[in-house]
A and B are shown apart, each in its own frame.
Chain A
Amino acid sequence: MFSEQIELRGHIIDSLILPKVLDEILTNGGSFSIREINIGKQRHDASYACIDVFGPSPEIVDALVRRLRQHGAEVVEQKDVTLVPAPADGVFPTDFYVTTNQQTFVHLRGKWIEALPATMDCAIAVDVEKQTAWTVKFSQVRTGTLMAVGHHGIRVVPVQRSTDRKSVFEFMASNVSSEKPKSAVIREIAEEMRMARKKGGKILVVAGPAVVHTGAGEHFEKMIEWGYVNLLFAGNALAAHDIEQALYGTSLGVYLEKGALADEGHENHMRAINAIRAAGGIAQAVAKGVLRHGIMHCCVQHKIEFVLAGSIRDDGPLPEVIIDTLAAQRAMRTKIEGVTIALMMGTMLHSIAVGNLLPAHVKTICVDINPSVVTKLTDRGTFQAIGLVTDIEPFLRELTEFLAKKEAGSVAVSA
């Protein structure tokens, strides 16, 4: 995304020049954000508007601005971003710019440079010679790294609503509470996932152990088998209880089939963790035939990348679990590139952590039985998030049923 800032002055409201300019931007493949607008108070007072014009290429933006100049638009000379070296390792300079999850550019030597990846609650580091900018967490900054400060020469591109298909993320005005019907929304989510898969977008699933506890593991495995999961982020618990279920048929000591407590069932997850530790890890356990079922088995079999991030309450943990939280965060950041849909189920901890890493354009679906968790996760200043208050199992059952119809449809077509 490339951009230019323009100004309009005069009787731009009475003359309909402002709406005309905005319409021209949209109809010529651009988008805009009104930075400032002052409407004249008296009839003869001039009005003023300052508008950021965005386009997919520098050529489109140039052509757009040329057109807009005919209507009186003047290009604003941009100042370069102010850069200050970081005073110490892990410390940002005072007045550092705090990023949002939206696409952000810094103006450097007359050009707009995108700060990658779009991640909220970061600062922006800049390499003047290489003309690059990137978002950094505290842990990534070193003494002397040049950092963006203040707000001059920094531009944020808001996520534009798509003009083509009306997606579920746009028509949803609020989260789906436990009292509302969910089928239509789940069907739309299935359609979004199918579209993402077709277009090569990555689907990320962030899952808590409730997926296993509620007996939804088999649905999840189907999604993996059908190619609707490209990346899994979870904690120790999901993997531990999934493996417990695979090895002993219980989750937290409860038989999933019968719903009854197993004798000495509380030991099962500890024994499961030990079995995997003994094998050297999940992948090794699969290779050795120790682990033959379940979500983690399915991930290994289908070569689905996963990141298991540890927490202070973990038992074990399993060997794959990254116990250094900063290392876990880095591992997640390196893998989220290309993600277009994030499905977050039954985990507040991991969902918030991942939500903080995702750019605003990623469509996010939050499913939790606790309404406050859903609200917390979807209320992220982007319309690209929907939330459903429901148990995980009925949600995933219905989702996989819709996906199964799609699968059947595509088989029929290919046959």
Chain B
Amino acid sequence: MRLFLPLVVTFVCGIVMILHFFIPHRPISTIGDGLTDWYMIVASAAIFLGAANLVQVHVHRINTKARNWQYSPVVLIGFLAMMAAGLVWGVEESLPFDYMFQTMVVPMGATMFSLLAFFVASAAFRAFRASNWRATLLLASAFIVMLGRVPIGGMIWKQIPVISEWMMQVPNMAGQRAVMIGAALGVVATSLRMIFGIERSYLGGAD
């Protein structure tokens, strides 16, 4: 029963949503719309599940004095401060929630994203080696695209941005499409396996 019910729900919902794409007639249309509404409700409820787990895990860490427990109060204080500010004063501009969002969340998020520049430089230095003719070809393409994406490329030679755009629109697109078609078929096969109950290991059951 523990596996049977989720498999039935998956099968029924999967078939209804496939039919919903092709058949605009009632009752398929209304059932399909109803299922999407239910999905949004369940997805909204899942936010509380995450918040509850976050609090539970970090309270447990503090109680048991687990390794690096000192970080847990920081998480809990941040979580409670943002939640309280939003609940008490609302989320409109110039209020405490918005202030914390603009002055703390925004710069911290941007800082994390900017780390990418350093990691790209480090990975490029280590991994981008002209070890054979294919890697050399890749290296040359990368140089042209990198120069073509910044104004200095056009200042070096006017044709660099043009060649760069061609590389993006022709060889890059061909490669992307090949992987995309393969992956899309993988999605179709995996979806069918799930709808027909052949794939069930994602439910925690035996595969």
On whether the two chains bind one another, the answer is no
